Amino acid sequence: MTESFRRSGEYENPYQGDQQQYASSPVNPEWPPPPAYRPAQQQPVPQPVEPVAVAAGGGFHGDGGNGGGTAVQATVPGEAAPGAGPAEKKRTRGPIALLAAVAIVAAAIGGGTAYAFQELTGNDTVATSSTTTNVVPSSKKGDVAAIAAAVSPSVVEVSATLSDGSSTGSGVIITSDGEIVTNNHVISGAQSIKVTTSNGKSYTAKVVGTDSKKDLALLKLEGASGLTVASLGNSSGVQVGDTVVAIGSPEGLSGTVTSGIVSALNRDVTVSTDESQGQGGGGGGRWPFSFGGQQFNGDTGSSTTTYKAIQTDASLNPGNSGGALIDAGGNIIGINSAMYSASSSSSSGSSDAGSIGLGFAIPINTVKADLAKLRSGSTS
């Protein structure tokens, strides 16, 4: 509207002393009155509306150019034209309201997506994600100390009492009320199971389901709540050379952290499905497995299964089974399941045993795909 006044030439330059150029203008240069028409009505309209505008006190705000409707409506002197002020305010708030509505819809879509993913995985948290999140700050990505501090509370020690001894392994918390993923061979044949969290609190655990063909088991802690849940990442994006961290309880030393890289992918690792080959059995407590046609850590027996594994040079030792293999962002990308030990004889001294940088982990996508089956109580 200001622009339309300047084109009229009525009061742009009265204070510059050039009165001559306005000699033909009937307007007092001291203080020009407002024009006797609504600026928005410069466009052709069916009926002239200037008399109505003058009678109404010459308001400056138009109603959008609807001259036909305005011409037949009388206004009270001193009052703004109907719809003038409110209409302008509505127009001002319109874009803001639209943006707010868009934001609300976007938030609803985001929440719905997270909820849908939880329903598909059966998880009661949003920690499980197909997108790789940063559990540790971006500035700390790849920092082993930061990863260990963030993820250690989500890794537990699993102690199983067997008929012929005991078995020690690790597990990963996947729900705040105490669902634990571990290896089947850690709890195979167990008469009772105790789980200890990183803060030293112990729980009795029950087996919910097992899948010996994938060497996976799901436990449920009794009376647990408010546990720190691990973020399950996306193992399909793992590449050879990626930095990884392993957390577990080797030899009962809970919360042990080691680091390395992914040294190979899709390794065909063969493990036993026989309960008698549990971790407390052959190989001096080291879980036997077969790779490349060779037996490691003892005889796997006649009942075996083979799965595709992530190979890592992060140090794994007896007791790491069922623990977490973690990426640089703090997401779980695998469940540690097998390691090669230099000594395969139960009579050898402990100094001869230990990791030589050849460990294997079950990809986390395999675990997520198996959760529904495990939660259903399957014991295959």
SS (H, E, C) 303-345: CEEEEEEEEECCCCCCCCCCCEEECCCCCEEEEEEEEEECCCC
Strand 192-196 versus strand 155-162 pairing type = antiparallel
Catalytic residue among 159, 211, 212, 215: 215
**Sequence-distant (≥ 6) Cβ neighbours of residue 371 within 8 angstroms:** 121, 122, 123, 174, 218
**How do the residues of the chain divide into helix, strand and coil, expressed in percent and rounded to 5?**
30, 25, 45
351 is catalytic: no
**CA angle, 195 then 200 then 204, to 5°:** 25
Token digits for 101? 């509505």
* Nearest partner of 310 among 300, 299, 298, 324, judged by Cα: 324
Token digits for 103? 């934001």
Rounded CA-CA distance 109/338 in Å is 41
321 is catalytic: yes
Rounded to the nearest angstrom, the gap between the alpha carbon of residue 64 and the centroid of all alpha carbons in its chain is 48
Catalytic residue among 167, 185, 254, 337: 185
185 is catalytic: yes
Cβ atoms of residues 81 and 70 within 8 Å: yes
Token digits for 35? 């024009």
Rounded CA-CA distance 268/278 in Å is 20
Angle between helices 84-121 and 364-375 (to 10 degrees): 80
Rounded CA-CA distance 103/84 in Å is 30
Taken in order 114, 119, 125, 130, is the CA torsion positive or negative? Answer: negative
Cβ atoms of residues 118 and 135 within 8 Å: no
Catalytic residue among 152, 290, 315, 321: 321
- SS3 of residue 316 by DSSP: coil
Rounded CA-CA distance 282/185 in Å is 12
- SS3 of residue 37 by DSSP: coil
Bridge partners (DSSP) of residue 206 are: 220
Integer CA distances (angstroms), 141 to 238, 256, 263, 330, in order: 15, 20, 20, 8
Residue count of the chain = 380
Give the catalytic positions in this structure: 185, 215, 321
